[in-house]
Amino acid sequence: MIRIFLLALLFSSPLLAGEPSTSRQAEIRNLLKHDCGSCHGLSLKGGLGPALLAERLRALPDDFLVETIQKGRKGTAMPPWQPFLSIEETNWLVRTLLKQQP
């Protein structure tokens, strides 16, 4: 019984979670371009919101980026995306943003 619990706990870890499916990745990229891009600029170079370019984001801790996406930022136009993105999808999105080439 304890082994089953430990295995379930191990495989539910976000570090070991798989990437979103290919179709879900396309949906998230579309959300990034259109929904995030409406404030951060369609090229993600900034607008109402700050730039989401890798060179800028690399200076910030990953957990800060994940929390910002999940919970939004009070006092700003940044809404919480938690109703639309799981924590695993948000982690994937952060990794994707950090891989961008200039």
pLDDT digits (tens, 9 = 90+) for 60-70: 999 999 999 99
pLDDT digits (tens, 9 = 90+) for 2-23: 444 333 444 444 444 579 999 9
Q: Apex CA 29: angle with CA 85 and CA 95, to 5°?
A: 70
Q: What are phi and psi of 40, to 5 degrees?
A: -90, 5
pLDDT digits (tens, 9 = 90+) for 35-82: 999 999 999 999 999 999 999 999 999 999 999 999 999 999 999 999
Q: Which helix (H) or strand (E) holds 3?
A: helix 2-11
Long-range contacts of 75-80 (CB under 8 A, 24+ apart): 76/49, 77/39, 77/48, 77/49, 78/39, 78/49
Q: Report the alpha-carbon distance of residue 82 to residue 69 in Å, rounded.
A: 7
CATH assignment, 21-98? 1.10.760.10
